[in-house]
Amino acid sequence: MIDLSFPPMLEDLRRTHGARDMDFEMYEAFEHPDETAWWYRLWTGNEEVDGSEFRFFGMEGSGGYTGLWLVREGRPLTEQPVVFLGSEGELAVMATDLGAFLWLVAQGHGPDEVMGWSDDGPCEPDPDALQVARRHAPDACRDPEEILGRAREEFPDFQGYIDAQCR
């Protein structure tokens, strides 16, 4: 049996997430690997990949996936980077870990805001998500620009990694 349950910090965010205007919906649990494989093969056009290096936990309105990229071998899920794979091939490393992602969401930055798609800028800070971030990741409190900058700096090859799998 595959354990698809969220780590406590992500489960707390799921229970409280309700950022007013954020286009981001969390799943009840991580997407099943069979569903990930089906979608990732379709998305990359490559029948030889299965997306097993990802644990998707949410999606935005146009169908882009948000999840963990299991690139830090042997490290817990909470220490894996959070990535976005858009429905039209857009890509972003959103945060270096789940703690930083909590702070992004708490400060009104979901996938649309990270990609620059929101005409109005970030959503209003979410007081419930702020409580979750303070409780689970007090040391990760940084402004969104710093969170995104650290993610891009630490994982500059994400685009190349994905491009190498696409057909």
For the stretch 90-122, pLDDT in tens is: 999 999 999 999 999 999 888 888 887 766 667
Q: Is residue 3 part of a domain?
A: no
Q: Which helix (H) or strand (E) holds 95?
A: strand 91-95
Q: Is residue 135 part of a domain?
A: yes
Q: Is residue 1 part of a domain?
A: no
Number of domains in the chain: 1
Q: pLDDT tens digits for 37-50?
A: 999 999 999 999 99
pTM, rounded to two decimals = 0.93
Domain span holding position 21:
8-163
Q: Is residue 129 part of a domain?
A: yes
Task: Provide the pLDDT for residue 18.
Answer: 56
Which residue type is seen at 163?
D
Q: Which helix (H) or strand (E) holds 134?
A: helix 127-136
Q: Is residue 2 part of a domain?
A: no
- Burial degree of 51 (CB within 10 A; 0-12, 13-18, 19+): buried
Regions of the chain with pLDDT less than 50: none
User: Contact 141/31 with Cβ under 8 angstroms?
Assistant: no
DSSP states along 37-94: HHHHHHHHT-TT---TTEEEEEE-TTS-EEEEE--STT--GGGSPEEEE-TTS-EEEE
Q: Is residue 109 part of a domain?
A: yes
Q: Would you call 25 helix, strand, or coil by DSSP? A: strand
